[in-house]
Structure 1
């Protein structure tokens, strides 16, 4: 090898060394340090519990600590801003509820660009909304509740958590579909709403089945219907809302997303690992006990799903004051 060739070869080696590992190699090595998952609710909420189930199992799979970072407030806006300002290296993720995508861009236009630019990673689970009443409310079915509301001057008061959230929007959709009068009583969270329904200060509540199933099993409230596409295997005696109101469905869901610009190979690697965790029988069972049902979905399919959900809920959001 000539002196010039040796010099050229050395320069090439130097350039390769400066370039460092390829993006694909980085994805294969991911993660090399702890990973943070932002959650938009306080510790102890059903969303938080589901996120911790995922985090615990990813910790074991990755041999790296996965840390939950609770950022509650402003209907998810605080958590949304936290992710938008995070590094796009895959080490900060967001366990986002459906309301972040279908409500926030309508209610807070300044957040629309951030939310729309998040990189979808994995669909974690979905949970049907549910309609329940206090134990002293006479209705024993959704059809009876609709009839009771129509017979009551001014309709019925309905407890919903978070103005503009999925609880509120589902109740608004129910009001429109059933043509029944309702007065929405807004609460900062589900726990406060349930407290008033259990005490019979408010007769009706619309919220996720994961929030209602516990009080219902304890006899504190009466579960009338779930707004999913079919009856739940865990609650076969509870009718779907569509049995009384054909076509009526309302589902909450949550997904894992990353900041804009996160490397595609890392996104796909995280997605594969999340899907693998969700397919573990013990994990699926724990989530189902919360009323959440995993459904594997590629990042591309998740993006299409999010867009479809935004179109479905946008008219309701706008009519509800979005």
Structure 2
């Protein structure tokens, strides 16, 4: 009997300590890790976002790159830290929607984390050389159906978001296009502008400069809505591929087991940050359209993308590098 009372007392004490900690949260700087090196897309999204979040939370936020295996190292790290809200992860979707289908990971894409909120989305953009005979996606599909073994597309690498965009187009259009993976977006874009590859699925950020200077022609974006950075470029959905959605995104998350009060505090601050017009404009210039979602909405998005990309990976027999 005494032992049972002691266990109950300890449980109540622990719950009260967690509640008290949550009530005063945050009372020291917060660390936000990234899955990639400084200077990349994750860093470009994190810096302005944290500048808006700091006054809302009343604490300094320290951004710490923790690169490796396309965000996987950071995901594994976050899954093991204390759920006190002082170590978070600004994550892209890869470690949670595609990586588990490509190799064994040490975490569960949903249950190992507390998903605080989706931040912004960015699709791929399908581009060709300005002298290309392809004026539209319909031209590409028609040519690929007429000569199924002739045409190819380039991307920044195997099993990256732009590779999945190309494979999704193949799946919904029924055409055959050979994938040419490069070791990064820069050499892929160089070859496209040199007319060495017929077409490219690129990140929006990498295509902004060449597009504005007339060094490439944009055929479509792969997001469900037009990109703020390319307002005159149609979506695949507009072009007849209804429901086409191949987007990468960023979300703020922590380890599993975070107290509901902590999640609510962070989620409310994140949603408030999303109302900042200057932040929205900065994201737009990066080709990442602001889309701030609640924890529940974020979980549903991960579930949907995990299922969708699992099918694409299986059907296309995509293997990790």
TM-score tier (shorter): 0.7 to 0.9
Match 1:306 to one of 277, 284, 302: 302
Task: Give the unaligned 5+ runs of structure 2.
Answer: 1-9
CA-to-aligned-CA distance 1:35-75 (integer Å, 9 cap, x gap): 22122222222232012221222233334321222223322
Match 2:291 to one of 279, 292, 295: 295
User: Given the superposition, is the C-alpha separation of residues 187 and 80 from structure 1 closer, same or farther in structure 2, using an over 3 Å criterion?
Assistant: farther
Whole-angstrom distance in 1 between the partners of 2:151 and 2:133: 12
Report whether the alignment pairs 1:80 with 2:75.
Answer: yes
For 2:165, what is the secondary structure of its paired residue?
helix
Report whether the alignment pairs 1:100 with 2:101.
Answer: no
Aligned twin of 2:64:
69
Higher helix share: 1
Whole-angstrom distance in 2 between the partners of 1:153 and 1:108: 31
Aligned twin of 1:260:
256
TM (normalized to structure 1)?
A: 0.85
- The CA deviation at 1:316 is 0.4
Whole-angstrom distance in 1 between the partners of 2:204 and 2:159: 18
Bigger CA drift: 176-185 or 279-288? 176-185
CA radius of gyration, larger in? 1
Whole-angstrom distance in 2 between the partners of 1:19 and 1:302: 29
- The CA deviation at 1:276 is 0.8
- The CA deviation at 1:20 is 10
Cα RMSD after superposing both structures:
2.5
Match 2:24 to one of 26, 29, 34: 29
Match 1:250 to one of 242, 246, 267: 246
Report whether the alignment pairs 1:132 with 2:91.
Answer: no
Match 2:190 to one of 192, 195, 204: 195
Contact 1:178 1:245 in 2 (8 A): no
Task: Give the unaligned 5+ runs of structure 1.
Answer: 1-14
Aligned twin of 2:108:
113
Whole-angstrom distance in 2 between the partners of 1:297 and 1:126: 11
- The CA deviation at 1:119 is 0.8
Aligned twin of 2:219:
224
User: Given the superposition, is the C-alpha separation of residues 153 and 22 from structure 1 closer, same or farther in structure 2, using an over 3 Å criterion?
Assistant: closer
Report whether the alignment pairs 1:279 with 2:275.
Answer: yes
- The CA deviation at 1:152 is 4.6
Whole-angstrom distance in 2 between the partners of 1:315 and 1:186: 21
Whole-angstrom distance in 2 between the partners of 1:148 and 1:267: 51
Whole-angstrom distance in 2 between the partners of 1:238 and 1:72: 33
Whole-angstrom distance in 2 between the partners of 1:270 and 1:150: 50
Whole-angstrom distance in 1 between the partners of 2:183 and 2:30: 29
TM (normalized to structure 2)?
A: 0.85
Contact 1:275 1:296 in 2 (8 A): yes
CA-to-aligned-CA distance 1:241-266 (integer Å, 9 cap, x gap): 12334213322211111012222211
